[in-house]
């Protein structure tokens, strides 16, 4: 039997567990992005191509304006995007470093991450949803949610890596 992390098990016993229903789906998606990243022996991106396609801060702010109807959230997104935005030269430097050190990073991180199949089994064992349709969210809406989340969080996450290397989709398929 697969051990169940307390953070998942406690959600199913709580009378307010319904409000946490979407978290397992996002956990699976993040895990699938990491699986895509680490499935390759070589990096799944070209630093120069990614840097050349990198939008300006003004373009990011325009995109935030398109995603957020609420002015408070739009201003938050603009502030957080400005805090972590880099220009194309800085991005090229970062991605070149990541590209050159890919194997070491991959080897160090891979053992620390729960494999996608194991996470799916753990979530199923506690009755948590394992796809977006089971919580009434379309793949497109889930993708928009991830884009918004990346914009309003200052901390650097796997979402930021996905955006910077051009892996952030406009339509999120449920993890296979």
Give percent of the chain above pLDDT 70. 81
The pLDDT of residue 150 is above 50: yes
172-176: average pLDDT: 50
d(CA 173, CA 67): 20
Q: What's the Cα-to-Cα distance from 132 to each of 64, 148, 153, 171, rounded to whole Å?
A: 24, 17, 22, 12
Indicate if the pLDDT at residue 90 is higher than 50.
yes
Phi and psi at residue 151, in whole multiples of 5°?
Answer: -75, -30
Residue 11: pLDDT above 90? no
What predicted TM-score, i.e. pTM, was given to this entire model? 0.75
pLDDT band at residue 167, thresholds of 50, 70 and 90? Answer: confident
Q: Is residue 115 part of a domain?
A: yes
- Give the model confidence (pLDDT) of 133-145 as tens digits: 888 888 788 888 8
Is 122 a member of any domain?
Answer: yes
**Assigned domain for 96 exists:** yes
Whether 89 is covered by a domain: the verdict is yes
Residue 54 lies in domain: 22-165
- Beta strands of the chain (E only): which ranges? none
Mean pLDDT of 116-126: 87
- List of long-range contacts for 33-36, beta carbons under 8 Å, 24+ apart: 33/158, 33/162, 33/167, 34/109, 34/113, 34/158, 35/115, 35/116, 35/175, 36/167
What is the number of domains present in the chain? 1
> Considering the domain boundaries, does residue 9 fall inside one?
no
For residues 11 and 150, which has the higher predicted lDDT (pLDDT)? Answer: 150
CA 174 to the chain's CA centroid: 13
């Amino acid at each position: 039997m697969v051990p169940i992390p307390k953070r998942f098990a406690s959600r199913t016993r709580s009378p307010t567990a319904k409000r946490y229903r979407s978290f397992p789906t996002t956990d699976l998606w993040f895990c699938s992005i990491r699986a895509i990243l680490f499935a390759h022996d070589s990096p799944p991106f070209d630093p120069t191509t990614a840097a050349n396609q990198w939008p300006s801060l003004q373009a990011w702010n325009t995109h935030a304006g398109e995603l957020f109807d609420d002015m408070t959230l739009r201003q938050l997104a603009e502030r957080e995007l400005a805090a972590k935005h880099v220009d194309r030269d800085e991005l090229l430097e970062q991605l070149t470093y990541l590209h050159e050190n890919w194997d070491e990073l991959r080897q160090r991180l891979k053992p620390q991450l729960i494999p996608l199949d194991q996470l799916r089994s753990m979530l199923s064992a506690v009755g948590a949803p394992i796809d977006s349709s089971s919580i009434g969210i379309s793949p497109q809406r889930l993708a928009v949610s991830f884009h918004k989340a990346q914009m309003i969080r200052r901390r650097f996450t796997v979402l930021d890596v996905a955006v910077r290397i051009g892996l952030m989709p406009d339509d999120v398929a449920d993890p296979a």
